[in-house]
Amino acid sequence: EVQLVESGGALVQPGGSLRLSCAASGFTLSDHYIDWVRQAPGKGLEWVGRSRNKAKSYTTEYAASVRGRFTLSRDDSSNSLHLHMNSLESGDTAIYYCTRPLKDGSAWWVGDYWGQGSLVTVSS
């Protein structure tokens, strides 16, 4: 059974850093792309970033709002992926979801499997 479990969410002060983790089970994470999507309290969905698979050298893409502050990395030994968040702002307060996309031909469609999310609160 495919499962994604996020962890690491916490209350952090503005300007601080945090690392979220996404632990995968039921499949080999290195074979798959992973997207992060966030949702601020009471607000809509925002795509945060993408980590491509090992075949694509784990290259990454980011939303403009987080580019230069957030970084995605992988740990094949633990079948997990990390979202490193620096220079956090109040606008980063959200539930962060890791999600495995659907591969259809050469296209990867966001949101085939989702974790339950990890809450990040940025506040003094």
Partner 1 sequence: DIQMTQSPSAMSASVGDRVTITCRASQGIGNSLAWFQQKPGEVPKRLIYAVSSLQSGVPSRFSGSGSGTEFTLTISSLQPEDSATYYCLQKVGYPFTFGQGTKLEIK
The DSSP call for residue 42 is: T
Ramachandran sector of residue 8 (left: φ over 0; alpha: ψ -120 to 50; beta: rest): left
Site for partner 1 contains 11 (CB under 8 A): no
The least distance separating partner 1 from the CB of residue 111, rounded to whole angstroms, comes to: 4
Minimum distance from residue 124 beta carbon to partner 1 (Å): 28
β-strands 94-104, 118-122 pairing: antiparallel
Find the binder of partner 1 among 46, 58, 79, 121 (CB under 8 A): 46
Q: How far is the CB of 47 from partner 1 (least distance, A)?
A: 4
Q: Are 6 and 21 in contact (CB under 8 A)?
A: yes
Measured CA distances, 5 to 42, 87, 90, 101 (Å)? 22, 24, 24, 15
Residue 116 lies near partner 1 (rule: CB under 8 A): yes
Other CB atoms within 10 Å distance of the CB of residue 57: 8
Using rule CB under 8 A, residue 44 touches partner 1:
yes
Site for partner 1 in 61-100 (CB under 8 A): 61-64, 97
- Please report how close the Cβ of residue 105 comes to partner 1 at its closest, in angstroms: 9
Binding interface with partner 1 (CB under 8 A)? 35, 37, 44-47, 50, 61-64, 97, 102, 104, 107, 109-112, 114-117
